Amino acid sequence: MPDTTTFNDLLRHLVGFDTTSHKSNLGLIHFVRDYLNQYGVPSTLIENGNKDKANLFASIGPDTLTGGVVLSGHTDVVPVVDQIWSSDPFTLTRLGDKLFGRGTCDMKGFIALVLAAVPEMATAPLKYPIHIALTHDEETTFEGVANLLPELVAMRLSPQAVIIGEPTEMRLVNAHKGQGHLETVVRGVEGHASLPDRGVNAIGYATRLIAGLAEIGESAKQRTSAVPGLDPAFTTVNVGRIEGGAQFNIIPGRCRFEWEYRSIPDATSRSIVDEFDEFSTMLAKEMAARNEKAGILTRALLEVPAMTPQPDSPAERLVTQLYDCGDPIGIAFGTEAPCYQQAEMPVVVFGPGSIEQAHQPDEFVRIEQLQRCTEFLRNLIQHLTHT
Ligand SMILES: [Zn+2]
């Protein structure tokens, strides 16, 4: 069982590195690399384009790429700006059965548990390997996992299970919604407000587009997912920001809005973006007929696919065999899991802590949750030693 002093020390260090997504995570990554080195475990670092962030990949046990597990966690955390904390967010603070600090729950607690178990992993006569994968920019662009996966595919890594230790309160998660963040820019033609037909009103067309999105969102409510745990169980749409126009007596030449969708895992229904594109193309034609300079441009700022349930996958079987985690459920938040699914690696989301505390001021993880995860990791090491 991982030593509690070691675990506390590790988590204290991990929380102490301010790895807010827009900052470098290299301090943390080098700390982990040096720690693993002490146990004879070499790390591969995969740097980003700017070389100010890195993923870390390390393998323990037999030198085989088939079977075994990948224990995966993201090293970045969400910002603490504009949040009121009762204690310093980057200083691990214990109060009763809770450990407070940014990332304790999402998801440095899990990473510290895995690292604390490394001495045991390194000495156990493992028959299958345990890989550790740490990524950057999970909270923002998914750039880390996007850089990591081609490397894993190139080395022909074929694990029995990838376990992403996001906070699920140690429930087995096999599905979640996809998410898209988009920007639509409506380009109109400015003019004097007294002569509306001489210009093209960008705000007017933007409101029609937004009304169209609302209708698309209404009809999406009819298509519900059977996956338990998705709340709500249908695809949602939200327009969250709008700007445009100069003043009341000028026909606005530009209007821009940002919107998002969260889509249920369902390959059969048409995507929200396709429906929007069809409507947008129709309106753009109408605008171009009035003035060829007018038009609509939509681009995705971020798109993350849904995690599709793969009932009875090797990953699900492994976790349910080793831990009493109940029937698999879906969750409302996104993870790196669909990226592993695209690389055809069986994956589940399964880790300590509750998403209710993630991203919040006074983020914490309960010690009881950490103990449960420790128990799972112990079972996992034994299993990979004795199968
Ligand atoms: Zn997370």
In which band, very low, low, confident or very high, does the pLDDT at 4 lie, cut at 50, 70 and 90? confident
Task: Based on the fold, state whether residues 34 and 154 are members of the same structural domain.
Answer: yes
Q: 289 or 387, which is more confident?
A: 289
Task: Based on the fold, state whether residues 29 and 167 are members of the same structural domain.
Answer: yes
Q: Other CB atoms closer than 10 Å to residue 11's CB: what's the count?
A: 24
Residues 240-273: pLDDT tens digits? Answer: 999 999 999 999 999 999 999 999 997 666 789 9
Share of the chain above pLDDT 70, in %: 98
Secondary structure element (H or E) that encloses residue 316, with its range: helix 314-322
Residue 353 alpha carbon to ligand 1 centre in Å? 11
Cα(97)–Cα(264) distance, integer angstroms:
36
Residue 287 alpha carbon to ligand 1 centre in Å? 43
Last residue of a domain, one of 280, 304, 328: 304
Residue 252 alpha carbon to ligand 1 centre in Å? 41
Task: Based on the fold, state whether residues 161 and 30 are members of the same structural domain.
Answer: yes
Q: What is the mean pLDDT of residues 91-117?
A: 97
Q: In Å, how far are 69, 229, 308, 318, 361 from 348, measured between CA atoms?
A: 11, 15, 10, 10, 27
Share of the chain above pLDDT 90, in %: 92
Provide the 3-class DSSP secondary structure of residue 370: helix
Residue 103 alpha carbon to ligand 1 centre in Å? 8
Last residue of a domain, one of 260, 285, 304: 304
pLDDT at 229: 86
Task: Based on the fold, state whether residues 242 and 139 are members of the same structural domain.
Answer: no
How much is the mean pLDDT over the chain?
A: 95
Residue 268 alpha carbon to ligand 1 centre in Å? 28
pLDDT at 223: 92
Catalytic residue positions?
76, 138
Residue 212 alpha carbon to ligand 1 centre in Å? 33
Last residue of a domain, one of 282, 304, 326: 304
pLDDT at residue 1 is higher than 80: no
Cite the beta strand spans of the chain per DSSP E. 43-47, 54-60, 69-74, 93-95, 98-100, 130-135, 161-164, 173-176, 178-187, 191-192, 236-244, 250-251, 254-263, 295-304, 329-331, 347-349, 364-366
When divided into structural domains, the chain yields a total of 2
Task: Based on the fold, state whether residues 192 and 285 are members of the same structural domain.
Answer: yes
pLDDT at residue 298 is higher than 60: yes
Q: What is the mean pLDDT of residues 29-58?
A: 97
- Give the range of the structural domain holding residue 24, as residue numbers without chain letter: 4-175+307-386
- Ion ligand 1: residues, CB within 5 A, are 106-107, 166
Task: Based on the fold, state whether residues 260 and 328 are members of the same structural domain.
Answer: no
Q: What is the mean pLDDT of residues 284-311?
A: 95
Tokens of 49: 């384009």
pLDDT at residue 2 is higher than 70: no
Residue 104 alpha carbon to ligand 1 centre in Å? 10
What CATH number has the domain bearing residue 35? 3.40.630.10
pLDDT at residue 11 is higher than 90: yes
pLDDT at 219: 95
Q: What is the mean pLDDT of residues 303-318?
A: 93
Task: Based on the fold, state whether residues 269 and 223 are members of the same structural domain.
Answer: yes
Residue 358 alpha carbon to ligand 1 centre in Å? 8
